[in-house]
Amino acid sequence: MLEQVDLSIETPKETYKPLYDELMTKLIVLQQRARAKGIGLVALFEGWNGAGKGSRIGDLLHNLDARATHVHVLSNFDQDEAARFRDMGTGVTGFAPLMQEFWQALGPRGDMTIYERGWYTAAARRLLYTDKEDLAKSYEASIHGFEKQLAADGYVIVKFFVHISQDAQEKRLRRLHEDPDTSWRVTKQELEHIKDYDITYAKYDDLLRRSDYDFARWTMVNGEDKRTANLTICKTLVKALENALDAAADPAAEAAAKKAAQNSAGMLQAADPRDRSDEESARVLEAALEAAATQSALAPTHSRFTIVPRPPRVEEIDHTLALTREEYAKALKKEQKRLGELELKMYRARIPLMLLYEGDDAAGKGGNIKRVAQAIDARAYTVFPSPAPTKPELMHPHLWRYWTRLPRAGHVGIYDRSWYGRVLVERVEGFASPAEWSRAYDEINEFERQLEAWGAILLKFWVAVDPDEQLRRFTERETNPDKQWKITPEDWRNRDKHPQYAAAANDMFRLTSTEYAPWIVLESTNKYYARIKALRIINETLEKRLGLR
């Protein structure tokens, strides 16, 4: 693709200014229209060292609305840190996964996010310091998934590659290096790499061809003439925003977004089902069964990821499993002591541990989490709840708030409900459109695959309770002043929708119980049994990863 760039073209100053002013005037107006319509724009600037990426971004920013424009400069790469992680041999590639930096920097829909170097450069740097097989393919899949998800979620993606010749690169880098005020910008290593221009050219060209996706195309920029470069950049951005603004809106997505916003603001009221007659309850049940069948028919038939041979099913869960109080007390002391010791070893090995809890209301997720947290250093873990999304969260892709809530390597992240809300509550309650939640299964699978490639341990627990025991717990909570805060009218209403939630859970198991992150059922009609099962699974997994079994 690099051969497309004619580096001999120069735009005369007298021709440039009227063209540039006209384009920039259009772009300023389009930015405000896109902001009003909730269309996000992601502009990535990649290219050769010394090609002038920063200057081109600076010229662009001079005219745009700063309130709706974000610039992220790729963080410095610590080679010594990368080498230490590689040499530990634990399979962890760094303190955070590759793509977290770029998710964290992503502005909301309606704003422009400009990346000065991004995920392509970051992946290339990490690959120099890894001993994990197939990591290059994993990174390529991660990048494809990131760009595809943004495009599906209301973002326009424009990727610029700023190209210059070897002679131009050498002149620019040496000039920068020799100037005391700019010498810090060019290392001796970068100067030495000038001689590898032809090798790097071939690698860049291959990368550009493989990542020129129909939803995120590359635009080649002549970096040797700044006026020509600025015109190319402005023309591309203007055209991209015009196309996005002309595209037809998705009524289903708009209706779901409106309902989700009302829920976030506490505007949706839940009716108490206990006030109904038997006849009314029968009609509600019939409607729930019909809705469950309709939603299941809209779910994907399969995943592009490999699913375990026999994923769980709600109706097959054994609710008779139990421990006596005496058995529980003895096992709890043993397993918590074991976990406390393993957590220290896990920290030293810099292995991130992620524990995800989903399940029925009143199943005992909080109590299970408490027994895990009691066993480890309070500084070692963070509990991440998942209440209704806030307004800023609703203005981002649904995985954004979880990409920004990951534990650092060596720490524990505990998720009291999780990213699976997209295919559970948001599916059942209509807070996401069928198109949005149906594509979320593989978006989630890709997210979890990236966590696995990073080196994280991810354990996904489904905490299940028998409906009769759930009713008893609801009643107990309502009559116990110390527990009344745990029960809401929404909990009672959700019992009406049990068929829909059960169908959603079965589809979730069927489509996201992957080989690298399978679902684990915690049979919690007897809470003692579920707590000990979780602790044992965590301990056994850590021992295996640490080479202790």
Summarised one tens digit per residue, pLDDT across range 455-479 is: 999 999 999 999 999 989 988 888 8
User: Are the folds of 2-247 and 261-315+343-532 the same?
Assistant: yes
Q: In which band, very low, low, confident or very high, does the pLDDT at 490 lie, cut at 50, 70 and 90?
A: confident
The two structure tokens encoding residue 2: 């690099």
Q: How far is CA 119 from CA 6, 77, 141, 287, in A?
A: 26, 12, 12, 47
The two structure tokens encoding residue 281: 């309850």
2-247 belongs to CATH 3.40.50.300: yes
Cβ neighbours, 10 Å, residue 435? 14
Is 0.85 topped by the overall pTM? yes
Percent of all residues in the chain with a pLDDT value above 70, rounded to a whole number: 98
Give the residue from 510, 509, 470 showing the smallest Cα distance to 492.
470
Q: In which band, very low, low, confident or very high, does the pLDDT at 284 lie, cut at 50, 70 and 90?
A: confident
- Mean pLDDT, rounded, for 153-181: 94
Q: Where are the domains of the chain?
A: 2-247, 261-315+343-532
Largest CA distance in the chain: 88
Fold of 261-315+343-532: Rossmann fold (3.40.50)
Q: Where would I find the H helices in 90-134?
A: 100-105, 119-127
Question: Which contiguous run of DSSP H or E holds residue 158?
Answer: strand 155-163
Pairwise pLDDT comparison (175 vs 104), residue with the higher score? 104
Q: In which band, very low, low, confident or very high, does the pLDDT at 520 lie, cut at 50, 70 and 90?
A: very high
- Measured distance CA(527)–CA(321) in Å, rounded: 10
- Mean pLDDT, rounded, for 213-229: 97
Side chain identity at residue 441, one-letter code: Y
Residue 24, pLDDT above cutoff 70: yes
pLDDT tens-place string over residues 71-124: 999 999 999 999 999 999 999 999 999 999 999 999 999 999 999 999 999 999
Residue 367, pLDDT above cutoff 90: yes
Say what the pLDDT of residue 269 is. Answer: 66
Please check whether residue 539 is in contact with residue 335, taking contact to mean a CB–CB distance below 8 angstroms: yes
Say what the pLDDT of residue 270 is. Answer: 61
Q: Which residues are 155's β-sheet partners? A: 40
Residues, the chain, total? 549
Say what the pLDDT of residue 478 is. Answer: 82
Q: In which band, very low, low, confident or very high, does the pLDDT at 277 lie, cut at 50, 70 and 90?
A: confident
